[in-house]
Structure 1
């Protein structure tokens, strides 16, 4: 049986929002930040090691390959845990309009829950890029650990996003 998607569908989709997230200045994000556009989201730690940076680079590249449609997509890096992120400042400037948010400690368990998939792994400890549709529904994710035999994972993400944008009845 052939399948046309490269990512894993979240079944059932889960409603998510930005409640409990603050920007780098400490100001709360609007609860509906993930609405009215497609969102590619990565969850990581303040240290953001090389694999974290590679994941963020892949998200940026996939967004840029959408050409005129890229304005319909935002990229978000959610930082979980205490720790200084000053060392990331220069790197994050290269990420072209990526929204960087920090999860408030008192909100972390509730906020992370929808991102836990069937394997039960914490989203902080996985290298996953999550797709959120324009209605704020978590609907797909890409596992970036390991190698894909069929194609580069960035290519799979790019193809799925292009198809979602093209087929979308919600904009």
Structure 2
């Protein structure tokens, strides 16, 4: 009889963690997440060639292997747009030695060209004409978030959206975690 009790105790000790893990997975949902940006269902961007304002061909496949921050806005770029461009630049610079793992893209959603002064201020950013493109449509699936900043992972998947008026400190924290824990990019 003593051997049966021991066997039952060993069986319970082995199966309880498994049962508890299934119960937690299916029944418990955490109230909050660590990340600031809104996680999206990963989706690849359409494969299409776009044109930079310098007249060169551009496609997102050329940026594979790097994290990419994308803003889709007008070339006229009002104060809010300029602020978003500034935040994108600062988030990248704040990563220090990891800033080379991050690219920046400004998709122009109209035919207006940005002012030369602004182009100079965002040096190193890919400024691409995207009016009417499938890429622009894939990014802005929800018109309510037309001015959001998007994140594309190193595999070329759209995966996160930051608010239309983001908090750069929280974005920097997100990226610090990404750079620390991700071996991609």
TM-score by length of 1: 0.82
Structure 1 residue ranges without an equivalent (≥5) = 146-151
Aligned CA distance change for structure 1 residues 30 and 63 (closer, same or farther; 3 Å): same
Tell me, in whole angstroms, the C-alpha distance in 2 between the residues paired with 1:114 and 1:34: 17
Q: Distance in 2 between matches of 1:80 and 1:114?
A: 13
Contact 1:16/1:137, CA 8 A, preserved across alignment = yes
Higher relative CO (Cα under 8 Å, sequence separation at least 6) belongs to 1
Q: Which has the higher helix share?
A: 2
Distance 1:104 1:2, change over 3 A: closer
Offset at residue 53 of structure 1 (A): 0.5
* 1:16-66 deviation digits (Å, cap 9, x = unpaired): 156242111222214513311110010001211110000000000010000
Aligned to 2:173: 159
Residue 29 and residue 132 in structure 1: after superposition, are their counterparts in 2 closer, same or farther (change >3 A)? Answer: same
* Pairwise CA distance, 1:133: 0.6
Unaligned runs of 5+ in 2: 1-30
Determine helix, strand or coil for the equivalent of 1:82: coil
Distance (whole Å) between structure 2 residues aligned to residue 140 and residue 132 of structure 1: 7
Larger Cα Rg: Structure 1 or Structure 2? 2
Alignment length, in residue pairs? 155
Choose the corresponding residue for 1:16, options 22, 38, 45: 45
Q: Which residue does the alignment assign to 1:103? A: 130
1:91 aligns with 2:118: yes
Which of 151, 154, 161 aligns to 1:134? It is 154
Q: Is the 8 A contact 1:76 1:98 kept in 2?
A: yes
TM-score normalised per structure 2: 0.76
Contact 2:149-2:164 at 8 Å conserved across structures: yes
Q: 1:17 to 1:60 in 2, by over 3 A?
A: farther
| Contact 1:18–1:34, Cα closer than 8 Å, also in 2 | no
For the 8 Å contact 1:133–1:139, the answer to whether it is kept is yes
CA distance in 1, matches of 2:171, 2:130: 25
- For 2:131 and 2:77, the matched residues in 1 are separated by 17
8 Å Cα contact 2:107/2:129 also seen in 1? yes
